[in-house]
Amino acid sequence: SQKIEQNSEALNIQEGKTATLTCNYTNYSPAYLQWYRQDPGRGPVFLLLIRENEKEKRKERLKVTFDTTLKQSLFHITASQPADSATYLCALGGATNKLIFGTGTLLAVQP
């Protein structure tokens, strides 16, 4: 069955450093991969989408890579800030418009 794995443990980093979150998947060939941010008590908020034919996508301080050979995506937040502290979810999608979500990684940026 399809499986998506994200760093199960919380990621603690110092303000100003680059946070790197990992999303690995098996038994799936997604057409695209997305990253969402979720704050406590709120619904996920879309951040970035990268398609299977793209290697890298950037948006302001965010960068996502997608390696379909390794079946892995890396999500980077540069110059991290305490306000970046949240749970980050990766999600895979294909032709059916349905998304399969990973378990999320809790990021804590210390001032």
Partner 1 sequence: SAVISQKPSRDICQRGTSLTIQCQVDSQVTMMFWYRQQPGQSLTLIATANQGSEATYESGFVIDKFPISRPNLTFSTLTVSNMSPEDSSIYLCSVEGGGIPDTQYFGPGTRLTVL
Residue ranges in contact with partner 1 by CB under 8 A: 32, 34, 41-46, 49, 89, 93, 97-104
3-state SS class at 84: helix
C-beta of 73: minimal distance to partner 1 in Å? 15
Residue environment code for 71-89, b if the CB has 16+ CB neighbours within 10 A, otherwise e: bbbbbbbeebeeebbbbbb
Residue (77 or 91) nearer to partner 1, CB: 91
Which CB atom, from 14 or from 103, has the smaller least distance to partner 1?
A: 103
Strands 105-110, 11-14: pairing is: parallel
Residue with tokens 């032709």: 95
Q: How far is the CB of 75 from partner 1 (least distance, A)?
A: 15
Shortest distance, position 31 Cβ to partner 1, whole Å: 8
Nearer to partner 1, 13 or 49 (CB): 49
Write out the two tokens for 64.
Answer: 């996502």
Q: Shortest gap between Cβ of 5 and partner 1 (angstroms)?
A: 11
The residues with which 37 forms a beta bridge, in sequence order, are 45, 88
